[in-house]
Amino acid sequence: MLDCATGRIDGKNAAASTARRHRTILANAMDYAVELGLLDSNPDPGPQVNGAQDVRPGEPALRGQPEAGAGTARSGQRSAVSGPRLVAFFGLMYYAALRPEEAIHLAADDMSLPAPGPDEDDAWGMLYLHGASPDTGREWTDDGSARERRQLRHRAEGDSRTVPAHPELVCLLRDHLAAFGTSPDGRLFSGIRGGELPTITYRRSWIKARQAALTPAEQASPLVRRPYDLRHACLSTWLNGGVYPTQVAEWAGHSVDVLLRIYAKCIAGQDELAKRRIAEALCQD
Q: In this structure, what CATH number is given to the domain that contains residue 167? A: 1.10.443.10
Residue 185 belongs to a domain: yes
- In this structure, the answer to whether residues 54 and 72 fall within a common structural domain is yes
Q: What is the pLDDT of residue 265?
A: 64
Half-sphere exposure of 70 (CA within 13 A, CB side): 24
CA–CA dist 235, 266 (Å, integer): 9
At 46 the pLDDT is 59
> Within 10 A of 157 (CB to CB), how many other CB atoms are there?
13
Rg of the chain, C-alpha, whole Å:
20
Same-domain status, 37 and 54:
no
pLDDT at 176: 93
Please state, in angstroms and rounded to a whole number, the distance separating the CA atoms of residues 158 and 17. Answer: 14
Q: Is residue 183 part of a domain?
A: yes
Residue 43 lies in a domain: yes
Q: Are residues 142 and 161 located together in one domain of the fold?
A: yes
- Say which amino acid occupies 271: D
* pLDDT for the residue numbered 52: 36
Q: Are residues 90 and 120 located together in one domain of the fold?
A: yes
Q: How many CB atoms lie within 10 A of CB 250?
A: 16
Residue 283 falls inside a structural domain: no
Shared-domain flag, residues 87 and 201: yes
Same domain? 54 vs 170: yes
Closest to 228 (Cα-Cα) out of 131, 136, 47, 103? 103
Residue 285 lies in a domain: no
Is 92 inside any structural domain?
yes
99 and 11 both lie in a single domain: no
Residues 29 and 144 in one domain: no
pLDDT in tens, the chain (285 residues): 878 888 888 878 777 778 878 888 888 888 888 888 888 887 776 554 433 334 443 344 344 444 444 444 444 444 345 678 899 999 999 999 999 999 999 999 999 998 877 666 678 999 999 888 888 777 666 666 778 778 877 777 777 899 999 999 999 999 999 999 998 888 999 887 777 888 888 888 888 888 888 888 888 888 888 888 899 889 988 888 888 889 999 999 888 888 888 776 666 556 666 787 788 888 865
Does one domain contain both 240 and 149?
yes
What pLDDT was estimated at residue 60? Answer: 41
Q: Are residues 239 and 252 in the same domain?
A: yes
Q: Which domain holds residue 226?
A: 48-271
Question: Which stretches of the chain are assigned E, i.e. beta strand?
Answer: 111-112, 125-129, 161-165
Q: Give a yes or no: residue 282 inside a domain.
A: no
DSSP string, 162-175: EEEE-HHHHHHHHH
Q: Is 163 left (phi over 0), alpha (psi -120 to 50) or beta?
A: beta
Residue 196 within any structural domain of the chain = yes
**Residues 267 and 182 reside in one and the same domain:** yes
Beta bridge partners of 126: 112, 164
232 and 214 together in one domain: yes
Within a 10 A sphere around the Cβ of 261, how many other Cβ atoms? Answer: 15
Domains of the chain: total:
2
**Cα 238 from Cα 247, distance rounded (Å):** 10
